[in-house]
Amino acid sequence: MDEDAGSMERITRCGAGGVVTKSIGLEPREGYPNPTVVELECGILNAMGLPNPGINNFEDEIKNLKKSNVPVIGSIFGSDKDGFVELGKKMQSYGADALELNMSCPHAKGYGLEIGSDPDLVREITKNVKKSTKIPVFVKISPNLANIVEIAKAAESAHANAIVAINTVKAMKIDLELRIPILSNKIGGYSGKAVKPIGVCCVCEIAKNVNIPIIGVGGITTGEDAIEYFMAGASAVQIGSGIHYRGVEIFEKICIEIESWMKDHNYNKISELIGVAHI
C-alpha cells in the first residue's frame, strides 16, 4: 500500500495481484510532524496522520497505475457521508476498479474510528457510496472495537461488496528517558507480525456472521500467514508492513510458499481453505 504510482507499479511486477492506494481525502493533508514512525520489537508503530495530496491531485497517479494491468483499489477517508460520496465518484471517474472506505484509522481526529465505531454511520456512508458509484465497495474496519461484528453486519446490510479486516491496533510507546510518548501524536497504529493473531481472530468472528467476502490484513509475512487468514475465513489478503521485513519480492515469495504448502497438503484451490478452521 502506497500512494506513489512508481512504487506501486514495482510491486505489481513482483507478483501482487492488485494494489491499494494510500488513503486519500478531499483536501491535501500534510499529516503529523515527526516522529511519526518507530519500529518496535515485533512490529511498527506509526501516526502519520493520513498525509495525502488530496483527491483533485490524484488523477494522474490512478491513470499511471492503470498501466500495470492489475486491479487498483482506491482507498478514501472522509468526515461525513457527503465527503465519502464525492471521493468515491472521483476515484471511479479516475479509473479505480474498486473503493476501500477507510473508517478505521486509530489516530486521525475527526475521521477513522469516530465514524467506524458507529453502525448507523457505517451503514449510511456505505449505502450512499454504493448508490452513487458502480464499482465494488469494500469497508475497512478496526480491531479497536467491542462491536466489530455489528460494524461488519452494518456494512453488509448497506450492500458492501467486501469487508477489509483489520486496520492497525491502537498503541503507544513511551521514551523512558524523556518520560513522554515517542510519537508526536502520542497515540499511533501498531502493525506488523504482532497483530496477526488479532487480525486472524477478527476475520474468523466476522466470517461467522456475514455472507460477503473478507479481505484479511495484518502481520502477513509468509505464505503460511496468508493460509491462516484463509482458514479463518478470508477470501484474499493484503500485505503492507510485510514489505519492510522481506522487501517488495515478498509477493512472489508468498505466492510460491502458498503453492508449496497446498501441494504438500493436497489442496488444489484456495477456495478449499476458506473458513475450514471454523468450529
What are the cell numbers at 172?
503507544
3-state secondary structure of 192: coil
List the one residue out of 71, 81, 184 whose CA is nearest residue 127. 81
What are the cell numbers at 84?
465519502
Which helix (H) or strand (E) segment holds residue 158: the answer is none
What are the cell numbers at 214?
473478507
Find out whether 43 and 195 touch, Cβ atoms under 8 Å: yes
Which one from 105, 201, 204, 255 is the annotated catalytic residue? 105
Cβ neighbours for 118, distance < 8 A, ≥ 6 positions apart: none
Task: Examine the residue annotation and report whether 201 is marked as an active-site residue of this protein.
Answer: no
Tell me, rounded to whole angstroms, the distance of Cα 6 from its chain centroid.
20
Residue in the block written with cell 475465513: 233
Task: Report phi then psi at 120, rounded to 5.
Answer: -65, -40
Cβ neighbours for 5, distance < 8 A, ≥ 6 positions apart: 60, 61, 62, 64, 65
Which helix (H) or strand (E) segment holds residue 197: the answer is helix 196-207
Q: Which residues are catalytic?
A: 105
